Amino acid sequence: MNGYFRKEFLDKRYYGEIIKRTDGIILTKNYKEGERVIIEKLIFKDKNGEKLDITRFLPEGWKFVKNKEFSANRENKEIKLGNLKEVGALFTIFHEIGHAISYENNIEDPKKILEEYTHNLENRQLTKEDIIKRGEKIEDYEEILVYDPYGKSVGFDRDEPFFTMLVPKKVIKNYGEALAKLERNAWAYALNQIRNLRNKGIIIENELPTLEKLVNFIYSCLLTYEEDFKKRYKDPTPYFTKGKKFEKIEELFKNWAGEESNL
């Protein structure tokens, strides 16, 4: 161990946490990196004492970071972890790992579909008059709020990161479909992991004991994304939930590695 690494090792100052859940306990090994808390190890121990190292499900180079909410950050290769006591928290961790795996498999970021359009100066300056002049229909466009904190640095004349612009409904539709697919795939991964673990006798999420309860949980999450999408893009299409609640469950399983369900 050379001097530099020894110093880094000492600077890490590990500490542990024990989080009590209804299905068992979570043990973590953490260290601080500036303001951030990195969770280097995340171990779940169920009621029967079965241990599961959840860290090993992370793709190469990814890490867990403490946060208020759960999310997967593609750029930093970070999975942010919210409240680990909540019912569904472990299920959600697997969902976020599902995202991380998709990203590592180079799935195109749905945001790019929208950004490809919004990151174009000509598109940004498009007015209703221009649309009419081009012989297109106003109804085929929607005025939406766009967030672009880097706009100024790439030469767009905007001081505010938020602004409204007219975007073709077709672009919004493609974005909604891609985003919903990404979310559903990540849930399919999580569902398969829970099923595999239960088959091995490791019970996670005992308050979601049946497939129906797990699917209801997924459904409520998808509904949240959907409400957010509807509000933001003024598009009422149910991209995320699509039709009846349980209609898509078999499809959910098939989306991930084509496995069949036997939960």
Smallest gap from residue 214 Cβ to Zn ion (A): 15
Tell me, residue by residue from 138 to 177, as one string, x for binding to Zn ion by CB under 5 A and - for no binding: ----------------------------------------
Give the separation between CA 68 and CA 185, rounded to whole angstroms.
24
Toward Zn ion, which CB reaches closer, 24 or 176? 176
Smallest gap from residue 64 Cβ to Zn ion (A): 16
Smallest gap from residue 94 Cβ to Zn ion (A): 11
CB atoms within 10 A of CB 155: 7
Toward Zn ion, which CB reaches closer, 183 or 226? 183
Residue whose tokens read 């001097």: 3
The DSSP bridge partners found for residue 179 are none
Toward Zn ion, which CB reaches closer, 124 or 248? 248
Where in 180-239 is the site for Zn ion (CB under 5 A)?
183, 186
Toward Zn ion, which CB reaches closer, 23 or 183? 183
The amino acid sitting at 217 is F
Where in 34-73 is the site for Zn ion (CB under 5 A)?
none
Q: How many residues interact with Zn ion (rule CB under 5 A)?
A: 2
Smallest gap from residue 95 Cβ to Zn ion (A): 6
Give the separation between CA 106 and CA 100, rounded to whole angstroms.
10
Toward Zn ion, which CB reaches closer, 46 or 183? 183
Smallest gap from residue 111 Cβ to Zn ion (A): 13
DSSP conformation letters of 79-129: EEE--TTSTTHHHHHHHHHHHHHHHHTTPPPTHHHHHHHHT-HHHHT--HH
Toward Zn ion, which CB reaches closer, 84 or 186? 186
Tell me, residue by residue from 172 to 191, as one string, x for binding to Zn ion by CB under 5 A and - for no binding: -----------x--x-----
What are the residues binding Zn ion (CB under 5 A)? 183, 186
